[in-house]
Amino acid sequence: MTDVGILGTGAYVPERVVSNDEVGAAAGVDDAWITLKTAIKERRFADPGQATSDLAAAAGRAALASAGITAEQLSVIVVATSTPDHPQPPTAAYVQQRLGAVDAAAFDVNAVCSGAVFALSAAEGVLARRGGHALVIGADLYSRILNPVDRKTVVLFGDGAGALVLGPNRRGSRIRHLALHSFGELAGLIEVPAGGSRLPCDQATLDAGLQYFAMDGREVRRFVQEQLPQLTKQFLHEAGVVPDDISHFIPHQANGVMLEAVVADLALPHATTHLTVARYGNTGAASIPITLDAAARSGAFQPGELILMAGFGGGMSAGFALVEW
């Protein structure tokens, strides 16, 4: 198969806009505090009748339209999510059905907020053997797993989905390099303790609030600040490029204040950093493809420019993609 490129992008965010004052009320914080700590001004929450697959399918449709192909042309659908519709079957199966992608294999990837890059790597591997086109979707609906009184987490997250269509490159675009990393010794820094085989949900876990998302924010920040610069440097060296070559940087939209410090440490002198965190908050696996779609639709990318995508999240995990537009 020829080189794989990104042929189209798409995104979907729910209609409901949630302000800082609304989300912070139960947690005892206000707009000024949230803005100071996160640079987030608002986020979107899904309607009660919406599930992750609904958001994912909507983003997928937008990406297919952007790429100019139909769902019947897809060989594979990979959905990155840590908030699936159900523990099983995979959320991707519902997406396949809703899109009518009758010839596509469909499966999920869970690398939390690094998920979109992990899914991109998985899909590229499938296309290398099978050919055709792939739909990669990052989708998360965090509003359902947030503890409303935990100010460390409830103010950060929103719901959304972003999607990419991969296929034989056009106009020279291609995925130049990918790298994935996991740090299992740090798995406890980000978790939803109850609901799996280790600790099934029962009345005791519900009473203890163990069904909610939990994060050691201080240690997560330490991980990102210590690991991301050196991993980025290593990735660029492996890809055969230097920081000056990068035109655009799309990081996981974790926290706007933290990203400002991280971007300074990365020292990408000619790169435009694209951010959507102020409008949408942290949308988990959706944040990189949502931001890529926003930049692409704004006309920010020129043919031949290099785009660096960097995901980091639970596991702990980190994923990097270098794309030539």
pLDDT of residue 194: 94
Domain-terminating residue out of 170, 199, 228? 170
Edge-to-edge order in the sheet of strand 74-80: 4-12, 159-168, 133-141, 74-80, 105-109
* pLDDT number for residue 128: 87
Tell me the mean pLDDT per 10 residues along the chain, length 325: 86 98 96 97 97 98 97 98 97 98 97 97 92 96 96 96 92 88 97 94 95 94 93 96 97 95 92 97 98 97 96 96 96
> Do 126 and 217 belong together in one domain?
no
- Is 59 in contact with 280 (CB distance < 8 Å)? no
Q: Of 20, 110, 113, 133, which one is the catalytic site residue? A: 113
Query: Domain range for residue 78?
Result: 4-170
The 8-class DSSP code of residue 81 comes to -
Residue 110 a catalytic site member:
no
Given 20, 110, 255, 282, the catalytic residue = 282
Say whether both 17 and 162 belong to one domain.
Answer: yes
The whole-number pLDDT of residue 105 equals: 97
Same domain, residue pair 158 and 15: yes
DSSP lists the bridge partners of residue 9 as 164
Where among 127, 153, 170 does a domain terminate?
A: 170
Domain boundary among 130, 152, 170: 170
- For the question of residue 177 being annotated catalytic, the response is no
Q: Which of 49, 60, 253, 251 lies closest to 139 in space, CA to CA?
A: 60
Q: Tell me the three-class secondary structure of 104-170, residue by residue.
A: CEEEEECCHHHHHHHHHHHHHHHHHHHCCEEEEEEEEEHHHCCCCCCCCCCCCECEEEEEEEEEECC
Residue 247 near residue 213, CB atoms below 8 Å: no
The verdict on whether 255 is a catalytic residue reads no
- The enclosing domain of 188 has a CATH number of 3.40.47.10
DSSP result, 232-294: HHHHHHHHT--GGGEEEEEE--S-HHHHHHHHHHH--TTPEEP--HHHH-B-GGGHHHHHHHH
Residues 75 and 154 in one domain: yes
Q: Are residues 115 and 35 in the same domain?
A: yes
Quote the radius of gyration of the chain (alpha carbons, Å).
19
**Residue 158 sits in the same domain as residue 198:** no
Nearest to 137 by CA among 9, 321, 249: 9
Give the number of domains in the chain: 2
- What is the spatial distance between Cα 60 and Cα 66, in angstroms, rounded to a whole number? 10
Q: Which of 133, 252, 255, 274 is the catalytic position?
A: 252
pLDDT the model gives residue 278: 97
Residue type, 219: E
The answer to whether residues 131 and 17 belong to one domain is yes
On whether both 36 and 158 belong to a single domain, the answer is: yes
